[in-house]
Amino acid sequence: MGSVKDLKIIKKPRDDQEGIGKFIFSDRYSIFDWGEMPDLIPHKGEAISILGAYFFEKFEKMGFKTHYLGLIEDGVVKRLSELKKPSNQMQVKLLKVIEPERRNTEYDYSVYEKLEGNFLIPLEMIYRNYIPEGSSVFGRLEREEIDLEDLGLDKLPSPNEKLETPILDVSTKLEVTDRYISWDEAQQISGLSKDEIEEVKQVLEIANETISSEFAKIGIVNEDGKIEVGFTPQREIMLVDVLGTLDECRFTFKGLPVSKEITRIHYRGTNWHKETEKAKNENRAEWKNICSVNPNPLPPKLKSLISELYCACTNEITGREWFKDSSPLMEIIAAIGRELDGK
């Protein structure tokens, strides 16, 4: 069970053989590494499942390997074109997930040096077409954890400025709290060769271009997003988890959020958010256990609008009316903007 989706293992992966599993996309959501938040967002799981399937099928047609097998309807695994109604269940190939050994606040990744294939690469790859105000990128630059050259930049961009060249960023995936690292460290801890880390970057660039192009068709800007990859048993790069959804990407329309970022904006600056930041500064490994405040539920109207947003985006990107009660996308976005302004 994850914070936003559950995994049912049908067949465990072996050393040289992929397993089979079933993702059950829930109506839960998670922000700021907290895990499950106090609300359920109606139809979110179905909308994410269908949009994720759409992009997996698109990338497969482009020649990429993915762990996607299909969506499940009435116990049968189907492609999107065969599906009669929304489904929140996706059948996937499973790779081995090998946790690095934790030693106090440090992690030992030496196990990855001897692995040949059939495993999740312990990284989260991020592309950035814009850097919003308050982004972790500005904080990392200010603290001199990175410099402009690390990001492929000649000068410091202004907040929300369109970047001439997207930033390709990377973080850890299997630690208690995600940690941004350099691509050199990413290569080192994951046991990848220089050619393999360059291939991962190329996959990230193409994912960015493809998702950006699809959302541009409906007037939405893809500001940033993430992907996850693994190795097949033959050590070929494979797209895993899910990509191109409102949870994996940060989309906007004329500066208004069209993604999970809406919930971040709502909670940012609340007492709960301040306490999580304070706890992370005190003990990054155990911060959640020492945080003394829990988040409050979302306002009912905002929650309803977020539900409609997930549904409308899935309808428009896929070109099929999966969710018939959804309002027009632009009306939903405008209403969300009014709600956030009146926060």
Give residue-wise pLDDT tens across range 105-125. Answer: 899 999 999 999 999 999 999
**One-letter amino acid of 72:** I
What local confidence, expressed as pLDDT, does residue 1 receive?
A: 59
Q: How far apart are CA 222 and CA 212, in angstroms?
A: 5
User: Are the C-beta atoms of residues 239 and 120 closer than 8 Å to each other?
Assistant: no
Q: What is the largest CA-CA distance in the chain?
A: 55
Low-confidence ranges of the chain (pLDDT < 70): 1, 343
Q: How far apart are CA 75 and CA 200, in angstroms?
A: 34
User: Are the C-beta atoms of residues 129 and 249 closer than 8 Å to each other?
Assistant: no
What local confidence, expressed as pLDDT, does residue 132 receive?
A: 87
Q: What are phi and psi of 6, to 5 degrees?
A: -105, 155
Three-class secondary structure of residue 324 per DSSP: coil
Handedness of CA 249, 239, 3, 75 (dihedral sign): positive
Q: How far apart are CA 221 and CA 334, in angstroms?
A: 15
Q: Where are the domains of the chain?
A: 5-267+299-341
Q: How far apart are CA 94 and CA 120, in angstroms?
A: 9
What's the chain's length in residues?
343
User: Are the C-beta atoms of residues 260 and 247 closer than 8 Å to each other?
Assistant: yes
What local confidence, expressed as pLDDT, does residue 343 receive?
A: 62
Assign a CATH topology to domain 5-267+299-341: D-amino Acid Aminotransferase; Chain A, domain 1 (3.30.470)
What local confidence, expressed as pLDDT, does residue 99 receive?
A: 94
Pairing of strands 65-66, 237-240: parallel
> Which DSSP letter does residue 96 get?
B
What local confidence, expressed as pLDDT, does residue 136 receive?
A: 86
* DSSP notation for 163-191: EEEEEEEEEESSSSS--EE-HHHHHHHHT
What local confidence, expressed as pLDDT, does residue 133 receive?
A: 83
What local confidence, expressed as pLDDT, does residue 57 receive?
A: 98
Pairing of strands 19-25, 68-73: unpaired
Q: What are phi and psi of 297, to 5 degrees?
A: -65, 160
Q: What is the pLDDT of residues 30-74, one digit of tens each?
A: 999 898 999 999 999 999 999 999 999 999 999 999 999 999 999
Three-class secondary structure of residue 245 per DSSP: coil
Angle, to 10 degrees, between the axis of helix 300-318 and the axis of helix 44-61? 30
What would the two tokens of residue 22 be? 């079933």
CB burial of 140-168 (b: ≥16 within 10 Å; e: otherwise) equals bbeeeeeeeeebebeeebeeeeebeebbb
What would the two tokens of residue 295 be? 């988040």
Residue 315 Cα distances to 43, 51, 291, 312, angstroms: 12, 9, 39, 5
